[in-house]
Amino acid sequence: MREKTCPVCEKKCLVSNDNQSGICRTKGRWERKLVSREGIAKLKAGPIQHQAIPDGLEPAVEWTYRIVGHYLYPTLEQWELGFLRELYIEKEILFWQWAAIAFIHYHKHHNLELRAAEQEKKLLGNFITMQPPDDDADKSYFRELCGEDGYKAEWERTLQLLRAGLAWSPPNGLENPFNDAT
């Protein structure tokens, strides 16, 4: 284990070399585990933690819904409600910004048009679990997309916009990557 940015508290804590476990100075021991489908099916929605999406991040929520959220929730309102239930709403919005950007880059890298919803939902599952698709011959590119650099870059870009009093906007060239085919 070595000191790295902790995925639990985002401070410097002990994290294993494979990023699958560690000791958070705030919350104690942690470990990433895959949850079974049965376990996921038993989950219930938590209480609403926030009254509104934070200022400046509404465009991020709308854009991420347009890119990836519609595969998971039938309406933008349900997508938004999911964020309002999150204790750390900004982190969750940032995760989905990163997932949407990675989703777009994956499609571009592989020259993929949007496919059937079930295929795209499966790819999203790969990003959520950070496991490359079984049928992906170029797993190194997937791992690169899932690296910390892309996530940190989007975090910094978002903070710069918000500190300047600007609303979030998609990175250049990604405003409408699928020409509203979604």
Band (pLDDT 50/70/90 cuts) for residue 38 is confident
Sheet holding 21-24, edge to edge: 2-5, 12-15, 21-24, 28-31
Mean pLDDT of the residues in the chain: 91
For the beta carbon of residue 164, count every other beta carbon within 10 angstroms. Answer: 8
3-state secondary structure of 38: helix
Start-to-end CA span in the chain (Å): 43
The yes-or-no verdict on residue 84 having pLDDT over 70 is yes
Per-residue pLDDT averaged across 52-58, rounded? Answer: 96
One-letter amino acid of 164: A
Q: How far is CA 156 from CA 58, 134, 148, 174, 179, in A?
A: 17, 32, 12, 17, 27
- pLDDT of 180 reads 54
- pLDDT tens, position by position, 100-132: 999 999 999 999 999 999 999 999 999 988 889
Q: CA-to-CA distance for 148 and 5, rounded, in angstroms?
A: 10
The secondary structure of 93-157 as a DSSP string is HHHHHHHHHHHHHHHHHTTPPP--HHHHHHHHHHHHHT---TT-S-HHHHHHHTSHHHHHHHHHH
For the beta carbon of residue 128, count every other beta carbon within 10 angstroms: 12
pLDDT (0 to 100) of residue 36: 79
